[in-house]
Amino acid sequence: MLKSLRQRLPRNVWILGFVSLFADINSKMVQSVLPLFLVSVLGANLLTVGLIEGIAESTAAVVKIGSGALSDYWQRRKELAIVGYGLSTLVTVVFAVAASPAWVLLARFADRFGKGIRVAPRNALVADTTPPEKRGAAYGLRQTLDTIGAFLGPLLAAALLFSSEQNLRLVFWLALLPGMIAVLLLVLGVKEPARPNSVPQNPLTWHQLKQFDRRYWLLLAVALVFNLGNSSDAFLLLRAQQIGVPTSLVPLTLVLINLSYGCSAYPAGVLSDRVGRVGLLLSGFILFACTYLGFAFVQSPWQIWLLFALYGLYLGLSQGILLALVADQIPATLRGTAFGLINLVTGAALLPASLLAGWLWQQFTPQAPFLLGSSCALLATLLLALSPRRP
């Protein structure tokens, strides 16, 4: 099967997948312990956690539109990806030496700034090198390799916490190594595809944006509604700890998410190439709504583990398929801009979503942010179901 995959999918897809794998080991080692570090070591409250996560993710969203449009204008994507991955790796040092929540805010801002630079050009690079009939499989494979890294990162973090008497700063220091490997793989392994020489045009003009299909704008609206209830995963980790999962085992919840995600992303992508993407995306949204409803009313640790597995399945049914759906509807010369726009919309929603989640948790009950997320997912499902389909 592995040989068949190598023959069917371009080399760039594989290399970019392994870049994502090592980069996600780096980022998930950090993210899996960061909420605990903020609350237990630096003394931050939940509203501060929500503020930091919301600002960080919204920063990434704003930068994505600029980097995506620049990659279309410049007709070069690899260099922007290198800058993005390199910046996110370098700021890992700031987490390790942070003395206050302000330091963590600065580091998360820079880390997500780097993510914002790299994501749209990288996603466009996958589409640039993959035939349309294989895009679901290509994005699914990249997501699978990405989630293997996201699986290994929290696992390594948990192992380090067990062996070092919960030395959270040591986790940050050792997270540097996989980040450096990711940058080297990108520099040495990815080939920028040849493009016809043409006069650069600003992709953010009305003349260029009119080329976007109406279904793309509707998809943008659906993504906005959905993500207004999709707060930072930090609240999932804090909910697990509240229900009774030991602190040293909390990072393993992310391991379970990414095991489920990794096992489902590629099969879901292949299936979307054969039966269509919208139905699978609807299934993912409905599963998210049910899972968040479960987080609202969960009673015991064993139920938490089941919910994290379902959350990973939702990711497998939605993330790669959404990217393939965008690539299907956009001209090749505007892919970076299209990916940047949808990331801008979804990421911009994360700031109010995370702030609102923190406020609802503190002022009302821990169940409130999850009920909001479930409701937004159901509304997005309805909007997507009523959207016109491509014949």
CA-CA distance, 25 to 65, in Å (whole number)? 25
Tens of pLDDT, residue by residue over 129-140, are 888 777 777 887
CA-CA distance, 119 to 38, in Å (whole number)? 27
Q: Is 345:223 a contact under the CB 8 Å cutoff?
A: yes
CA-CA distance, 28 to 147, in Å (whole number)? 10
φ/ψ of residue 229, rounded to 5 = -110, 0
| pLDDT of amino acid 177 | 92
**Residue 184 within a domain:** yes
**Residue 4 within a domain:** no
CA-CA distance, 335 to 121, in Å (whole number)? 8
pTM, rounded to two decimals: 0.66
**Residue 6 within a domain:** no
CATH of the domain at 220: 1.20.1250.20
**Predicted confidence band of residue 2 (pLDDT cuts 50, 70, 90):** very low
Helix axes 250-275, 135-163, angle to 10 degrees: 170
- Look at residues 342, 352, 343, 345 and name the one whose alpha carbon lies nearest to residue 373: 352
Most confident range (mean pLDDT) of 44-58, 215-229, 329-343 is 215-229
**Residue 237 within a domain:** yes
Lowest mean pLDDT among 101-105, 207-211, 334-338, 349-353: 207-211
How many domains does the chain divide into?
A: 1
Looking at every residue in the chain, the average pLDDT score rounds to 78
- Look at residues 249, 238, 248 and name the one whose alpha carbon lies nearest to residue 298: 238
- Look at residues 362, 360, 326 and name the one whose alpha carbon lies nearest to residue 345: 326
CA-CA distance, 76 to 139, in Å (whole number)? 20
CA-CA distance, 363 to 376, in Å (whole number)? 20
**Residue 390 within a domain:** no
CA-CA distance, 286 to 374, in Å (whole number)? 9
**Residue 373 within a domain:** yes
Tens of pLDDT, residue by residue over 25-40, are 998 888 878 877 777 7
For 9, the 3-state DSSP assignment is coil
**Residue 271 within a domain:** yes
| pLDDT of amino acid 76 | 76
**Predicted confidence band of residue 148 (pLDDT cuts 50, 70, 90):** confident
Q: Is 112:57 a contact under the CB 8 Å cutoff?
A: yes
Q: Alpha carbon 169 to chain centroid distance?
A: 24
- The boundaries of the domain holding residue 125 are 11-190+203-385
First to last CA, the chain: 32
**Residue 2 within a domain:** no
